[in-house]
Structure 1
Amino acid sequence: MSVNRRTLLGGGIGLGLAAGLGATAAGLRPSDAASASSALRIGYLPITDAAPLLVAHQRGLYEDFDVPVAEPVRFRSWAELAQAFVAGRVDVVHLLAPFAVQLRYGMGAPVRLIAWNHTNGSAITLSDTMSGLSDLAGQTFAIPYWWSIHNILSQDLFRESGLRPVVRKTPSASDGEVRVVVMSPSDMLPAMSNGVIAGYSVADPFNAMAEVREVGRIHRFLGDLWRNHACCAVVMREDTIDGDPGLVQRFTNALTTAQLDINADRPAAATALTEGYLPQPEPAIARALTYPTEEYADSGAVLRPDWHGNQIGFAPFPFADYTENLVDAMGRTLVDVDTRFLDDLDPADVHADLVDDTFAREAIEASGSPAAFGLPDSLTRTEEVDIT
């Protein structure tokens, strides 16, 4: 499959991405980029999705695997992170999986997905003023980006519950409409506390934060709707991969080692993440890494306890059936950006073009076996999605 090479300022760009593409991204100065030219530059959002990239840095795993890296750079929003990545200000990012599809096919950016950074790790959180999902009729609901698993699964659940997502209009309560808006994750909790939005779907620890601060509650974990789905993946530009594949392999080995370390001791990982990486308090981060299944089964946020959808997972292998299902789901999701790039895509072909799984395969083998990550020996699976 050939990549649709639209200009970077063309129709597939999300709100706020085109406007700042040529500008310096927040948190990254030109001097930072110049001084880090000989090292891989990692960009991240302050969410638990970024944990493997950050724990690997905190514990010196990149050095252990002979990977020179600069201090990871924090961004406030997905648009800012993508601006920096596409412009070459950072070299490797954890990126929303649907956003990676948009970058390659909607923007023509030469990017490849080399591994999953994590699975699950997101939820739908409602204000304490909402008694249930039906109360969202006539209200505003926030997502972190149009092309996100948060938008996809929230809208699926809305429709299953008799609600209708809308954009750019005042939602009608009588018609069961919910206005969907994009908001930076760090702005969501204050907006909900102030009544600007009635709920949100986002990565943790912002769901845990709502409960810790007693202003909201988790209505549903997204991993309870799509079993062990990838929210964020590790994405690099093709020039980085082609320029030094050995470096990329060593980087992936460090990343997967961090994933195993997190799985082995989640409380310790929560402590590591507070050491200059995530700004949230350690109790919220620890809760996000260790949600108790029994508590949420009782509340209704977990209806399939055997899926363990409340538990963020850390396993690197990008499954082909997931990519196909993801692209198909993007086609049924309401967004306020250009969707024409999807018209040219065959969901069954995207994985081979977008994803390079050779680095993850070798890293898994070096770690012992797929079983070390809870993965099937065949490294194949069929997706399980149940929007009820």
Structure 2
Amino acid sequence: MSGLVDRRTLLRGAVGLAAAGGLAGIADLARTAGTSRANTSGQLRVGYLPITDAAPLLVAHRAGLYAGTPVTTAQPVMFRSWSSLAEAFMSRHVDVVHLLMPMAVQLRYSLGGAARILGWNHTNGSALTVAPDVTDLGQLAGRQVAIPFWWSIHNIVLQKMLRANGLRAVVRSAPSKAAGTVGLVVMSPSDMLPALANGAIGGYTVADPFNAAAEIKGVGRIHRFLGDVWRDHACCALLVHEDVVDRNPTGVQQLTDAVTAAQLRISTDRKQAAEMLKAGNYLPQPLPAITKALTYPADTYPITHHDWQPQRIGFQPFPFPSFTRALVEAMQDTEVDGDRRFLSRLDPATVHTDLVDDRFVRQSLSRGGGPTAFGLPADLTRTEEVEPT
């Protein structure tokens, strides 16, 4: 699948995204209404959610790594929900985003968005946070749990955990303690913490620093890091429009170089990275929550796989084909409130080569000291490890 989609397809896609993941897009899109959708300037605009998943894009901006690249040095545009960010991307209000990887699959194969993944923006970085009275996963039966989007690694991993513990996720129906069902509801990340605090939900699974913030405020506790279920899973991928790749491969290489350089910088000094994210006014959360999210101490949490270091958000940019395949397979077993028909048309073995363009990140890795400098295997291959119990 290649080439641009027409305006009618884009509008249908925006409506589909709103229906599938929440209706928070209108206000966010209005913020960029003064910018030409045609983007004749040739500069690429960055869009993001205020979570630590966005750190590479934001640190690259703060550190001046976009200078001399096609990426604008203007402040990146912040959105409050995944649906609004995706709608802005599809309508060309922004050109470079970090997007939930399952959502990128949906965008390309269900909504007709001509997008390519250049690499991973980060690995891990999410958790299941529960109300203080929840000490066992079974206590979520009969309660609601919030997820950031239907097509998210959060929903996929949460449902794996529920099934492994004899529970079943339900959508659009009341959860039952007797039946062992857990209700799922989509919420913007910023709405999750107050919903947990007032008892509207029994837990949420989302990216940091919302998990760290719940602990700092004393309204919730981290039950399990998602990286303790799926080792070094990709949550967000680096996305650009496919025509940008075709039209300006040199600029795309410069973009990828800047983001990977930022990933190295974050890994070298996480506390400084947290300060940069706060000083640049990119994230509204307090500095202690941002710092905690980037530097979780392993010895204070119940972790099953200590050698996986699941509490640490990782900044390894290479998009492993084994993960894309396993992800598409897992999407087929995941309950969502939305159209699933596109999954029947997908061959998990071939999605990676169509969706992901890893030419640029391979070159960036070479320029950054090679795969091992990023903590990656030298041969850039791996076997997926998923253990939800």
Length-normalised TM-score, structure 2: 0.94
> What are the superposed Cα offsets for residues 105-163 of structure 1, whole Å, 9 maximum, x if unpaired?
01111110001000000000001122221111100000000000000000110111111
Matching residue of 2:28: 25
Does the 8 Å contact 1:252/1:359 carry over to 2? yes
Matching residue of 1:166: 170
Question: How does 1:177-192 map onto structure 2 within 5 Å?
Answer: 177-192=181-196
Q: How far apart are residue 17 of structure 1 and its match? A: 6.4
Does the 8 Å contact 2:100/2:237 carry over to 1? yes
**3-state DSSP class of the match of 1:212?**
helix
Question: How does 1:300-379 map onto structure 2 within 5 Å?
Answer: 300=302, 302-379=303-380
Question: How does 1:1-388 map onto structure 2 within 5 Å?
Answer: 7-8=9-10, 9=12, 13-16=16-19, 25-26=28-29, 28-33=31-36, 37-63=41-67, 67-275=71-279, 276-296=281-301, 300=302, 302-388=303-389
**3-state DSSP class of the match of 2:199?**
coil
Name structure 1 gaps, 5 residues minimum.
Answer: none
Q: How far apart are residue 23 of structure 1 and its match? A: 5.6
Does the 8 Å contact 1:65/1:253 carry over to 2? no
The alpha-carbon distance between structure 1 residues 290 and 329, as it changes in their structure 2 partners (threshold 3 A), is same
**3-state DSSP class of the match of 1:262?**
helix
AA aligned opposite 2:330: A
Aligned residues: 383
- Matched residues in 2 for 1:11 and 1:93: separation? 16
- Matched residues in 2 for 1:18 and 1:52: separation? 25
Does the 8 Å contact 2:2/2:242 carry over to 1? no
The alpha-carbon distance between structure 1 residues 180 and 324, as it changes in their structure 2 partners (threshold 3 A), is same
Does the 8 Å contact 2:316/2:374 carry over to 1? yes
Q: How far apart are residue 64 of structure 1 and its match? A: 5.8
Length-normalised TM-score, structure 1: 0.94
AA aligned opposite 1:367: G
Does the 8 Å contact 1:21/1:83 carry over to 2? no
AA aligned opposite 1:204: D
Q: How far apart are residue 170 of structure 1 and its match? A: 1.0
- Matched residues in 1 for 2:230 and 2:26: separation? 37
- Matched residues in 1 for 2:368 and 2:237: separation? 19
AA aligned opposite 1:316: P
- Matched residues in 2 for 1:239 and 1:229: separation? 28
- Matched residues in 2 for 1:282 and 1:36: separation? 37
Identity rate of aligned residues, in percent? 56
Does the 8 Å contact 1:12/1:339 carry over to 2? no
Q: How far apart are residue 31 of structure 1 and its match? A: 1.8
- Matched residues in 1 for 2:14 and 2:43: separation? 33
- Matched residues in 2 for 1:11 and 1:220: separation? 33
**3-state DSSP class of the match of 1:157?**
helix
Q: How far apart are residue 30 of structure 1 and its match? A: 2.0
The alpha-carbon distance between structure 1 residues 116 and 68, as it changes in their structure 2 partners (threshold 3 A), is same
Cα RMSD for the two superposed structures: 2.2
Does the 8 Å contact 2:13/2:112 carry over to 1? no
Does the 8 Å contact 1:167/1:179 carry over to 2? yes
The alpha-carbon distance between structure 1 residues 370 and 272, as it changes in their structure 2 partners (threshold 3 A), is same
Q: How far apart are residue 379 of structure 1 and its match? A: 1.1
Q: How far apart are residue 280 of structure 1 and its match? A: 0.2
Does the 8 Å contact 1:102/1:147 carry over to 2? yes
Q: How far apart are residue 167 of structure 1 and its match? A: 0.6
Does the 8 Å contact 1:24/1:30 carry over to 2? no
